[in-house]
A and B are shown apart, each in its own frame.
Chain A
Amino acid sequence: MIKEEIDLKELKKEIAIERLRQAPPNIKISFGAGDGKFLNRDELIEQVEKDTEIGQKIVKIQLEYLKAFKRGLLTPE
Chain B
Amino acid sequence: MARVLFSRPSHDVTLSYLFYYSRELVDLSEELGYKTINKEKEEANRKIITNLIQKQNPNLIMFNGHGGDAFVCGHKNEIIISSKENPEILINSITYSLSCSSASILGHEAVKKGAKCFIGYEFDFAFGKDPDSEAVPKRDRIAKLFLEPSNLLFKSILKGKTIKDSITKAKQKMKENIWYLSTTDSFPEASYYAPFLFGNYSGLIALGDESSSIKTN
A-to-B contact residues, CB < 8 Å: 19-20, 22-24, 26-38, 41, 54, 57, 60-62, 64-66, 68-69, 74-76
Give the CA-CA distance A76 to B112 in the complex, in Å: 36
Give the CA-CA distance A8 to B17 in the complex, in Å: 37
Task: Check B50 for interface membership: any CB of A closer than 8 A.
Answer: no
- Contact at A74–B179, with CB atoms within 8 Å? yes
Give the CA-CA distance A60 to B198 in the complex, in Å: 11
Give the chain B neighbours of A64 by CB distance below 8 A.
Answer: 195, 198-199, 202
Size bracket of the B interface: 20 to 34
- Contact at A19–B12, with CB atoms within 8 Å? no
- Contact at B193–A29, with CB atoms within 8 Å? yes
Give the chain B neighbours of A19 by CB distance below 8 A.
Answer: 192, 195
* Option from A22, A34, A69 in Cβ contact (under 8 Å) with B182: A69
The 7 closest A-B pairs by CB, nearest first: A36-B12, A36-B14, A65-B195, A32-B124, A23-B192, A61-B199, A28-B129
- Contact at A28–B126, with CB atoms within 8 Å? no
- Contact at B123–A61, with CB atoms within 8 Å? yes
- Contact at B198–A20, with CB atoms within 8 Å? no
Give the CA-CA distance A60 to B15 in the complex, in Å: 24
What 0/1 pattern do residues 175 to 201 of B give for CB contact below 8 A with A?
110110010000011001111101100
Give the CA-CA distance A65 to B194 in the complex, in Å: 8
Give the CA-CA distance A66 to B192 in the complex, in Å: 11
* Option from A29, A33, A74 in Cβ contact (under 8 Å) with B198: A74
- Contact at A24–B188, with CB atoms within 8 Å? yes
Given A27-B193, A29-B196, does the pair A76, B129 have CB atoms closer than 8 Å? no
Give the CA-CA distance A60 to B124 in the complex, in Å: 11
Give the CA-CA distance A68 to B14 in the complex, in Å: 28
Closest to A16 in B: B195
Task: Check B33 for interface membership: any CB of A closer than 8 A.
Answer: no
Give the CA-CA distance A57 to B85 in the complex, in Å: 27
Given A23-B192, A61-B196, A62-B195, does the pair A31, B126 have CB atoms closer than 8 Å? yes
Task: Check B149 for interface membership: any CB of A closer than 8 A.
Answer: no
Closest to B132 in A: A26
- Contact at A74–B175, with CB atoms within 8 Å? yes
Give the chain B neighbours of A76 by CB distance below 8 A.
Answer: 175-176, 179
